[in-house]
Amino acid sequence: MKVEFYNAKKKKELLERLNKQFGVSSVPKILFETGKERIRGFSGDLTIDEIYALADISNVEFIGLYLFKQDMEFIRFGFDGALFFKEQFSKNVVNLTDEQVDGWMNGHNLNVVLEKGMYVVKHDNDIFGCGFSDGKGLINFVPKERRIRRN
């Protein structure tokens, strides 16, 4: 698997995008990209050289936390990544009602009108992942394994 570590310049550019889109002001010490624009973060004691050595004998997807995926237009937080940055979000946050969060965690899209873009979904002090607004509704990105299952 191809792993690309972010240098200071690339990390700064990414932080500027995160700040503009969500108000995020700091990221983990080591950021690296693993296939399909998936960015992971690591704040442990290993150096980049030690992670490369470990990658030769193991899968580096076991190192760090999957934070987000970036494409040309938007950054989309993974479920755990959104929780990691929970205290930093100050832009593009949607607060849900009790009824809306129940539907959201069941995998339903929401009928809320927002500007086109990616949003962090929140209820009280809890984060429930990300959603994309197409201008007509909020499209659900909660992974199937995180959804509430009803019989």
- The span from the CA of 50 to the CA of 24, in Å, is 28
Domain 92-151: assigned CATH number: 3.10.450.720
DSSP secondary structure string for all residues of 119-143:
EEEEETTEEEEEEEE-SS-EEE---
Taking alpha carbons only, the member of 9, 73, 15, 55 closest to residue 39 is 15
- The span from the CA of 83 to the CA of 44, in Å, is 18
Domain boundaries, given as residue ranges, for the chain:
1-91, 92-151
Q: What is the pLDDT of residue 7?
A: 93
- The span from the CA of 72 to the CA of 42, in Å, is 24
Q: What is the pLDDT of residue 75?
A: 93
Q: What is the pLDDT of residue 61?
A: 65
Q: What is the pLDDT of residue 53?
A: 83
pTM of the model as a whole = 0.85
Q: What is the pLDDT of residue 4?
A: 85
Strands (E), 21-105: 30-34, 38-42, 65-70, 75-77, 93-95
Residues 6+ apart with CB under 8 A from 83: 127
pLDDT tens-place values along the chain, 151 residues long: 677 889 999 999 999 999 999 999 999 989 988 877 889 998 888 888 888 788 778 776 667 889 999 887 899 999 899 999 999 999 999 999 999 999 999 889 999 999 999 999 999 999 999 999 999 999 998 887 777 876 5
